[in-house]
Structure 1
Amino acid sequence: MSKTTLAIIAGVSAAAGAGAAAAIFSSRRQRDTFPVPQSTSHPPSTTTSSAPLPAPVTAPRPLKEIVPPVDPNGLFQYGFPGPISDLNPTLSTTSAFDRRTRNPAWVAEHITPASLLANNADRRHSYFVEDESIPSKFRARLDDYRRSGYDRGHQVPAADAKWSQDALDQTFLLSNMCPQVGEGFNRDYWAHFEDFCRRLTNDYPSVRIVTGPLYLPRKDPEDGKYRVSYEVIGNPPNVAVPTHFYKIIFAEDGKTGGNVSLGAFVLPNARIANDKPLKDFEVPVEAIERASGLEFATKLPMQRRRRLCDEVHCSIIVREYMDRQKNLMGDSPTKRSLPR
């Protein structure tokens, strides 16, 4: 990932000025500083003075309680405008839906060695379906993807939920989908990345993953300004095509209060060569937080955090698409630990 992309992800604008990138990527919060008031008193004089003593300072009168002549909160008698995130827990996922983009804001999953070894489901019995838990006027529809040129891209992959047919079926809800480039991304590099996440369970007893879309600005070559621009599909067009996708990985050591290895990655929604190093897409968690407006690890103390790519070798293994599909039909992938 280029320095320009990292700057965009972190929210650095063209007008930020020198040194802004360092400030943006710092995990420390800026603190406002205030001038220390200087004392107006003077040390006692050794000489007598005929100047009169200052008058005593009287306390200000309390302000009268203001009774506004208007009540803007009265709007709530007709309903709360939002935003509403449509929090949706299923057997295999927990997600929050973005009604504006008709895409999930984030989808969380949990995988373990035992959950991935269980083969109690068959993808051939699963079908893409609209999520009826989301109001009709806001949900993505099957027709929105038809002839769009994009795949219905799983945020939580079906291969992570083979422990139950119901769990597998629920990964096919459109609330778990975003429009993704097919060849070169969803069916290739993104799938290899999902396989990397599964292989982490060979080294960690518990792995939690949050996945979601991003809509990042690009620099206009004509005027040099940054703008957010993305395609919208459907009829009427209302399903946004993300410019990028993120994954944040919490690899837990399994101990109460133990260490958590964090990995954060941002990939463009575009063809990616299979020889592209995965570490090129690694970013600070804070960069994804700034770009998404979300927070992911506020309750994880710094002393418990480890950098995932310092613990394991962050790299993909290229496997042919048909072989992956065969595994989704019930055959277990070869158990293989990540090199350290």
Structure 2
Amino acid sequence: MYRVFCSRWVLPGLSLTAGIGIGATLTAAGDRRNNNRKASLLDRVPVIPIPSVDAASEISPYQPGQVSVNRSTAAMKYGFPSLSNIKSRESYVTSYDPRNRTAAWVIEQLNAETVTGSSDRKYCEFKEDESVHVYHRSSNADYKGSGFDRGHLAAAANHKWSQKAMDETFYLSNVSPQNPNLNQNAWNNLEKYCRSLTKHYQNVFVCTGPLYLPRQEADGKMYVKYQVLGKNHVAVPTHFFKVVILEKPRGDVELRSYVMPNMPVDEKIPLERFLVPIESIERASGLLFVPNIMKRTSSLKAITAG
């Protein structure tokens, strides 16, 4: 039932690894009468105008030994997927979506140093983000009794290097309603996998966010439908994405992109089944990743050549 179609494109300075999988999981229940038609994530996403993002050219790459560099600055290396409501924390950067009361995306830079340390989540508490207007923020009361976990976008365990950094992952602006089975199993496995990549790559840049994908209803039309929680109407995503940019010591860059549905997922399913083409995430989210990465790698190659 589960099939993977993997492909690999080699571009100048960039390797893209992608696939289309979990067909049955990503296909809506209301679409069962079309079982004879092979559906993929690409069939399910709308074409959304993509903003022009030029931020990558304005970010200077981090140089080893540089003094007093904030880790959130380092996370900006490949620019921003979008430019709305940018907030910088101790070790991650986020774009907040005030309408949905959650982040549109969160970027963090992981390496062997950030994922180790003495910080402990038992000292952390979920808290409202007072930098967000009270009309547009979520609260703990919204999640109480909802049946959904407060799912981290920038994972707490990614920032063991600093208790302050870990504390800041508990802002509710870094949280989305997540199915408990997904949050504690398959999604947790993906987060662990991203941390394990720091053993093999110099830097691991992770961008995570929610998706609200359409599905076909009984009348044959496509609708974007999602639940909201509490008095603040916190949007419950239909899916979550994670875009992973992997840097090798020589400057080569590899890109992997994943999508998981916000529902119970068998944690025994290999993570490779959740690989999707990066273009499908860009179209569905309205974000942009590849041009930023290409601009950065091209600039670095030009500097090296000079």
Query: Is TM more than 0.5 here?
Result: yes
Instruction: Find the aligned partners of 2:200 and 2:272 in 1 and give their Cα distance.
Output: 18
Q: Is the 8 A contact 1:85 1:99 kept in 2?
A: no
| Consecutive unaligned residues in structure 1, runs of 5 or more | 14-82, 306-340
1:122 equivalenced with 2:157 (yes/no): no
- Higher strand proportion, which one? 2
Question: Which of 274, 278, 282 is 1:289 aligned to?
Answer: 282
Instruction: Find the aligned partners of 2:90 and 2:281 in 1 and give their Cα distance.
Output: 26
Question: Which of 249, 253, 268 is 1:254 aligned to?
Answer: 249
- Where 1:129 maps in the other structure, the secondary structure is coil
Relative to structure 1, the CA distance from residue 210 to residue 272 in structure 2 (aligned partners, 3 Å threshold; closer, same or farther) is same
- Aligned partner of 1:285: which letter? I
- Where 2:260 maps in the other structure, the secondary structure is strand
Aligned-pair RMSD on alpha carbons? 2.2
- Where 1:4 maps in the other structure, the secondary structure is coil
Question: Which of 140, 149, 152 is 2:150 aligned to?
Answer: 152
Query: In the TM superposition, what is the alpha-carbon distance from 1:303 to its structure 2 partner?
Result: 12
| Consecutive unaligned residues in structure 2, runs of 5 or more | 1-21, 24-37, 49-81, 299-306
- Where 1:115 maps in the other structure, the secondary structure is coil
1:4 equivalenced with 2:39 (yes/no): yes
1:230 equivalenced with 2:226 (yes/no): yes
1:106 paired residue number: 105
**What TM-score results when the alignment is normalised by the length of structure 1?**
0.64
Q: Is the 8 A contact 1:140 1:175 kept in 2?
A: yes
1:75 paired residue number: none
Indicate the structure whose relative CO is greater, using CA pairs within 8 Å and at least 6 residues apart.
Answer: 2
1:92 paired residue number: 91
Q: For residues 265-294 of structure 1, give each alpha carbon's deviation from its aligned partner in whole angstroms, at most 9, with x where no partner exists.
A: 110001001221212211111110000001
- Aligned partner of 1:147: which letter? G
- Aligned partner of 1:156: which letter? A
Instruction: Find the aligned partners of 1:192 and 1:281 in 2 and give their Cα distance.
Output: 12
Query: In the TM superposition, what is the alpha-carbon distance from 1:226 to its structure 2 partner?
Result: 1.2
Instruction: Find the aligned partners of 2:259 and 2:97 in 1 and give their Cα distance.
Output: 19
1:273 equivalenced with 2:272 (yes/no): no
Q: For residues 203-256 of structure 1, give each alpha carbon's deviation from its aligned partner in whole angstroms, at most 9, with x where no partner exists.
A: 101000000000000111x222211000001125x100000000000000133x
Relative to structure 1, the CA distance from residue 125 to residue 291 in structure 2 (aligned partners, 3 Å threshold; closer, same or farther) is same
- Where 1:301 maps in the other structure, the secondary structure is helix
Instruction: Find the aligned partners of 1:196 and 1:187 in 2 and give their Cα distance.
Output: 14
Instruction: Find the aligned partners of 2:43 and 2:209 in 1 and give their Cα distance.
Output: 17
Identity %: 42
Q: For residues 151-208 of structure 1, give each alpha carbon's deviation from its aligned partner in whole angstroms, at most 9, with x where no partner exists.
A: 00000110011111100100000010000000x2101110011000001011101000
1:16 paired residue number: none
**What TM-score results when the alignment is normalised by the length of structure 2?**
0.71
1:263 equivalenced with 2:256 (yes/no): yes
Query: In the TM superposition, what is the alpha-carbon distance from 1:7 to its structure 2 partner?
Result: 2.5
